[in-house]
Amino acid sequence: MPDLDELKSIVGEDFLLTDPDRMESYRLDWSKGAGAGMPLAVARPGTVTEVQGVVRWASEHRIAIVPRGAGSGLSGGSLAVDGAITLSLDRMRSVSIDPATRVAVVEPGALNAEVKRAAREHQLHYPPDPSSYEICSIGGNLATNAGGLCCVKYGVTTDYVLGLDVVLADGTLVRLGGQTIKDVAGLSLLKLFVGSEGTLGIIVGATLRLIPAPAPAATLVASFPTVQAAANAVVSLGSRLRPSLVEFMDNYAINAVEDFREMGLDRSAGALLVVQCDSPGDARAAEMLVVEQICTTAGASEVFSTTDPDEGEMFLAARRAALPALERKGSMLLEDVGVPVPRLPALLDRIGAISAEHGLPIPVVAHAGDGNTHPNVIYDPAQPGALERAERAFAEVMQAAIELGGTITGEHGVGRLKKSALADQLGPEVTALTRRIKSALDPDGLLNPGAIL
Amino acid sequence: MPDLDELKSIVGEDFLLTDPDRMESYRLDWSKGAGAGMPLAVARPGTVTEVQGVVRWASEHRIAIVPRGAGSGLSGGSLAVDGAITLSLDRMRSVSIDPATRVAVVEPGALNAEVKRAAREHQLHYPPDPSSYEICSIGGNLATNAGGLCCVKYGVTTDYVLGLDVVLADGTLVRLGGQTIKDVAGLSLLKLFVGSEGTLGIIVGATLRLIPAPAPAATLVASFPTVQAAANAVVSLGSRLRPSLVEFMDNYAINAVEDFREMGLDRSAGALLVVQCDSPGDARAAEMLVVEQICTTAGASEVFSTTDPDEGEMFLAARRAALPALERKGSMLLEDVGVPVPRLPALLDRIGAISAEHGLPIPVVAHAGDGNTHPNVIYDPAQPGALERAERAFAEVMQAAIELGGTITGEHGVGRLKKSALADQLGPEVTALTRRIKSALDPDGLLNPGAIL
């Protein structure tokens, strides 16, 4: 057992936790922690220099490091590993806005919502918006290349990263990119670290691009008799215009939300779409007419639209409540598969068949506009064999996405929960290439071992 | 000297050139070829399998490969290397559009303009638009992460790449990404290859994201008494709205264009801005009013705006004519430096001082909206010492950009012309990291040796 006093002197006694009780809240994440280990210690550095110190110490002692943001990850990317240091970035959370350059300079522990709020004070906007934006950290967003609801028009995290400070496996600090919008000097190393889930380096700072605040969105809610009718509407929408949000909930999810908190949703609907358009001026109204027409043509039984932002936010609140609402229905395995948009109807078909085959509900909520779905396998842990059946269904949903030319994860990351399926998607050549990059940057395999690979 | 018969049998006798006269047109690029070598042979494979064959052959014989698109690069990235195989992708140029998925599946030799035209037939749009879009290949665009005029609103090449087929240094084919919009399964290897200038692998196919065709743009042209007044207008524009184009020309460039082809530009203007807005509906007119007001406030002496697309295209033609027009003024070293937008006035100041110091004109044209400028050092090669002075000025412009927190290349790439300045921008840590990635993917250094590093 290595001497932790040195580590204590790096981050300060108060910020090196070794007591199991105090470490407990740093062991798990929102994936519910299947297989979380017991860390040697939890280090909570307050500066980049301290992060470098911790990493150098770990490198010298050949001890692994699990970097950790707010712990809201859904793929187990920050689950503690036995005998490793959990390096929590929760104390490093400064945010400063440069309105002239239109960038936010952030530390990784800052919450996504804090960045958005700081930008808003300057009439600027940071688009990426995971459903968990109130509680997830920007460092975690960068580590997973997080998406959200607005991606369909505004893109994902990587599209907003101009600069990145990264501590490498040996403690070296590299500063990649900067504040310049167009920069092709050298390899795109910056983009390689975004989405690398802490396996190549530890992100300790970022410069994020901000945009002028978009016009307020109008919102439309449409009820469809079947999942297929709603999916067909989504495909048509994408070929005609660029809505700023296209969210989907199926009948099971609608009812779970209504059970959780009465919101006046149509419990009899096969599926529901929430669509927003935020084009400026009169274009928004013209687009909303097209959206309404597409939904009606696809067979919507009821269409309601509003330009009132609060009313629109209410429908979004229903969509955002889906995850906690579904969690009350039993234990749950949360999926994140995506397909090219025209194959969304086929994917939903396959999910329906898998659900029927295993006798387990698999309600689907989706960022439908870019084909990113969250099917959730619900099971009763008290029932013998239920977990095994749920795990088989979970694996089959990923397999279906791969067969439809899609992905096992659209925005949550591979983490520890999906790594067994990754090779099926990537194939042996890309897996080998991934290992070569990993070995080049982390030859001793000390950075977040067990994640991705 | 290795036996070329095997290579001939891979690509076919007609497509392996060894005669110096026939190879000549594959030796240079638009950087004018300072230091271009004589290749062992030029291979023009027609299929991915043939590319793999050439690369395997080269790998076995330890012979370097210089990949090459349309040869319109400005940084010498595809200049021939003595004794190497120049691998030209000019025969692989298929383009197919999938309108439902809104993607273009392309081979690297297809021209940017061909991709745009094919997309337009389906009312879709491929945004990236280097000034050379009529003659540059999409493979070259991918290799350099090319920009263009529309980046200020629509982003650069990497933002539109969903899938990439790459032949690695040992001939292995890897397929990265696919057609799914959101995909975080594994490392962002795809983004690493974009902009790698053929040093990590050879891009043999790509799936590009298309968007619904935007509304037609309105165009405004404003003359300013000074470069600084125009630069200040650019900074204000960026903080108020998102124009789809913000182009800049200084007095020297304006007059060069007028000398080249009379276009009715104001020869007395210190600088000219061309601004376009393409928001849909009545928002466009509202934005154009804001643009006009900003230009007037910044001191524009004359402002003209039009909603007629042909008239707008005429002003853009003047901007696009700047490069050929300037080339008639003498020999030229073409720059591509960028800075954060608020530092544009300072950069233009510094360029003016460097020009005065060396007694050489350095006219500037710029994609001003994202701080990406093309200062062009003009010299008379007949004058003793002129080239040396031009080269010093060229290096000082890059140094100025670095000191202002910017980049030595915003969109052209490092190639062979700028590699000596790259380490000044990246610093030793990032340079070392770049070498580690290069070694991991191309251990024998056979892919485009001398480019970037």
Tell which A residues from 383 to 422 touch B, by Cβ distance under 8 Å: 405-414, 418, 422
Reply yes or no on whether the pLDDT at A238 is more than 70. yes
Placement of tokens 């999926």 in the chain? A335
CB proximity list for B238: less than 8 A, separation 6 or greater: A102, B246, B341, B369
Max Cα-Cα span within chain B: 69
Helix, strand, or coil here: B349? Answer: helix
* Residues of chain B with C-beta less than 8 angstroms from the C-beta of A238: 102
| Residue contact A180–B238, C-beta within 8 A | no
Helix, strand, or coil here: A103? Answer: strand
Which residue of chain A is at minimal alpha-carbon distance from B417?
Answer: A185
Structural fold of domain B330-413+421-437: Alpha-Beta Plaits (3.30.70)
* Residues of chain A with C-beta less than 8 angstroms from the C-beta of B423: none
Reply yes or no on whether the pLDDT at A1 is more than 80. no
| Residue contact B185–A426, C-beta within 8 A | yes
| Predicted local confidence at residue B239, as pLDDT | 81
| Residue contact A184–B280, C-beta within 8 A | no
CA-wise closest residue to B286 among B312, B313, B307, B308? B307
Reply yes or no on whether the pLDDT at A83 is more than 80. yes
Q: How far apart are CA A265 and CA B186, in angstroms?
A: 38
Report, as an integer, the average pLDDT of A144-151.
96
Residue B226: CB atoms within 10 A of its CB come to 16
Report, as an integer, the average pLDDT of A119-137.
96
Element (H, E) at B353: helix B344-358
| Predicted local confidence at residue B32, as pLDDT | 76
* Residues of chain B with C-beta less than 8 angstroms from the C-beta of A340: 101, 103, 178-181
Tell which A residues from 127 to 146 touch B, by Cβ distance under 8 Å: 144-145
| DSSP, residue by residue, A48-81 | HHHHHHHHHHHHHTT--EEEESSS--SS-TT---
Pick B184's closest partner by Cβ from A99, A405, A409. Answer: A409
Domain assignments of chain B as residue spans, ordered by start: 5-88, 95-212, 215-324, 330-413+421-437
Q: How far apart are CA A109 and CA A142, in angstroms?
A: 11
| Predicted local confidence at residue A3, as pLDDT | 85
Reply yes or no on whether the pLDDT at A147 is more than 90. yes
Q: How far apart are CA B343 and CA B406, in angstroms?
A: 9
B186 touches chain A (CB under 8 A): yes
A428 touches chain B (CB under 8 A): no
* Residues of chain A with C-beta less than 8 angstroms from the C-beta of B175: 427, 429-430
* Residues of chain B with C-beta less than 8 angstroms from the C-beta of A101: 340-342
| Residue contact B159–A155, C-beta within 8 A | yes
* Residues of chain A with C-beta less than 8 angstroms from the C-beta of B335: none
| Residue contact A436–B433, C-beta within 8 A | no
| Residue contact B436–A436, C-beta within 8 A | no
Placement of tokens 């600069």 in the chain? A163
* CATH, domain range A5-88: 3.30.43.10
Interface contacts A/B by beta carbons within 8 Å: 277
* Residues of chain A with C-beta less than 8 angstroms from the C-beta of B412: 184
| Residue contact B174–A235, C-beta within 8 A | no
| Residue contact B184–A372, C-beta within 8 A | no
Answer whether B102's CB lies under 8 Å from B209's CB: yes
* Residues of chain B with C-beta less than 8 angstroms from the C-beta of A184: 144-145, 147, 195, 407, 409-414
Report residue B180 as tokens: 């799914």
Phi and psi (nearest 5°) for B88? -95, 130
* Residues of chain B with C-beta less than 8 angstroms from the C-beta of A439: 440
| Predicted local confidence at residue A32, as pLDDT | 76
| Residue contact A279–B282, C-beta within 8 A | no
Q: How far apart are CA A305 and CA A67, in angstroms?
A: 44
Q: How far apart are CA B220 and CA A302, in angstroms?
A: 45
Residue A165: CB atoms within 10 A of its CB come to 22
- B174 min Cα distance to partner chain A (Å): 6
Domain A215-324 and domain A330-441, same fold? Reply is yes
| Residue contact A180–B406, C-beta within 8 A | yes
Tell which B residues from 223 to 242 touch A, by Cβ distance under 8 Å: 235, 238-242
pLDDT string in tens for chain B (453-residue length): 788 999 999 999 999 999 999 999 999 999 876 789 999 999 999 999 999 999 999 999 999 999 999 999 999 999 999 999 999 999 999 999 999 999 999 999 999 999 999 999 999 999 999 999 999 999 999 999 999 999 999 999 999 999 999 999 999 999 999 999 999 999 999 999 999 999 999 999 999 999 999 999 999 999 999 999 999 999 999 888 999 999 999 999 999 999 999 999 999 999 999 999 999 999 999 999 999 999 999 999 999 999 999 999 998 999 989 999 999 999 999 999 999 999 999 999 999 999 999 999 999 999 999 999 999 999 999 999 999 999 999 999 999 999 999 999 999 999 999 999 999 999 999 999 999 999 999 999 999 999 999
| Residue contact B410–A192, C-beta within 8 A | no
Answer whether A271's CB lies under 8 Å from A251's CB: yes
* Confidence tier at A239 by pLDDT (50, 70, 90): confident
Q: How far apart are CA A370 and CA A152, in angstroms?
A: 6
- B62 min Cα distance to partner chain A (Å): 21
Report, as an integer, the average pLDDT of A109-132.
97
What type of residue is A190? L
* Residues of chain B with C-beta less than 8 angstroms from the C-beta of A192: 187-189, 191-192, 437
| Predicted local confidence at residue A33, as pLDDT | 64
| Residue contact B156–A182, C-beta within 8 A | yes
CA-wise closest residue to B219 among B245, B253, B237, B249? B245
Report, as an integer, the average pLDDT of A360-370.
98
CATH class of the domain comprising B215-324? alpha beta
Which residue of chain B is at minimal alpha-carbon distance from A243?
Answer: B212
| Predicted local confidence at residue B33, as pLDDT | 64
Return the bridge partners of A222, or none.
A273, A303
A289 touches chain B (CB under 8 A): no
Q: How far apart are CA B132 and CA B148, in angstroms?
A: 9
Does B95-212 carry CATH code 3.30.230.10? no
CB proximity list for B356: less than 8 A, separation 6 or greater: none
| Residue contact B279–A282, C-beta within 8 A | no
Structural fold of domain A330-441: Alpha-Beta Plaits (3.30.70)
| Residue contact B405–A179, C-beta within 8 A | yes
* Residues of chain A with C-beta less than 8 angstroms from the C-beta of B144: 184
CB proximity list for A427: less than 8 A, separation 6 or greater: B175
B428 touches chain A (CB under 8 A): no
Nearest-5° Cα angle at B155, B187 to B227 = 135
Q: How far apart are CA A36 and CA A80, in angstroms?
A: 5
Which residue of chain A is at minimal alpha-carbon distance from B436?
Answer: A440
Percent of chain A whose pLDDT exceeds 70: 100
| Predicted local confidence at residue A308, as pLDDT | 97
